[in-house]
A = this chain, B = another copy of it.
Amino acid sequence: MEELKQRIVADGTVLDENVLKVDSFLTHQVDAKLMQSIGQHLADRFADRGITKVVTVESSGIAPAVFTGLALDIPVIFARKQKSLTLNEELLTANVYSFTKKVANDISISRKFLGAEDRVLIVDDFLANGQASLGLVELCRQAGAEVSAIGIVIEKTFQGGRKLLEDEGLEVVSLARISSLENNQVNFLNEA
């Protein structure tokens, strides 16, 4: 997605060879128009799959996910990282390790919102080591739902997440694929 790549080059900050900061349009300040384009792209890509739910995890996944859900005209569920007092019924829960934050956290979805009849499109802001996406896949599988595909805004292809997901038989589509952040430079994967 050319518009996204241009925005990453213009406004992203390479913190080190593993970390790209995009807090001016995605992870803290949000460009809603760009999110709308992202949601439309993902929806167009998966329009023929009979998808019934978009699933993401709070917080940076929410904006791209809600626009995907809007374009597909289906509900969006965001998994919670903390259990809330008003979210105390039966939960699907998976443990997710964050390489960036070096902590493991549970993520949860209320069981009543996902079932065996659902075909899920997982949407997330980043694919790096794949742990967050794998956690969402696990929640869907606990519910008996089928994961139809995984739509990612920004993939860091050098961190191995895609392989873990593909080894699980999952299709991954990323709108921007970054092959390296070395020398303070964003390099995108050359795709045919």
Q: Which residues of chain B come closer than 8 Å to A109, judged between CB atoms?
A: 28
CA distance A30 to B36 in the complex (A): 16
Smallest beta-carbon distance A192→chain B, Å: 32
Interchain CB contact under 8 A, B76 and A33: no
By a CB distance below 8 angstroms, the chain B residues around A29 are 75-77, 110, 113
Beta-carbon contact of B67 and A32 below 8 Å? yes
A63, CB-defined interface residue at 8 Å: yes
Residues of B within 8 A of A59 (CB): 58-59, 62, 78, 80
Q: Does A35 contact B (CB under 8 A)?
A: yes
| A: number of interface residues (CB 8 Å) | 37
Contact B63 A85 (CB under 8 A): no
A76 to B63 alpha-carbon distance, docked (Å): 10
A101–B75 touching, CB < 8 Å? no
Quote the shortest CB–CB distance from A116 to chain B (angstroms): 17
Q: Name the distance in Å between A131's Cβ and chain B's nearest Cβ.
A: 15
Which B residue's beta carbon lies closest to that of A71? B32
Can you give 8 contacting A-B residue pairs, CB < 8 Å? A28-B87, A30-B62, A30-B75, A32-B76, A58-B58, A62-B63, A63-B63, A66-B66
The list of the 4 closest CB pairs from A to B, nearest first, reads A32-B70, A58-B59, A32-B69, A30-B76
A residues near B (Cβ < 8 Å) are: 15, 19, 21, 23-24, 27-33, 35-36, 58-59, 62-63, 66-67, 69-70, 73, 75-78, 80, 84-87, 100-101, 109-110, 113
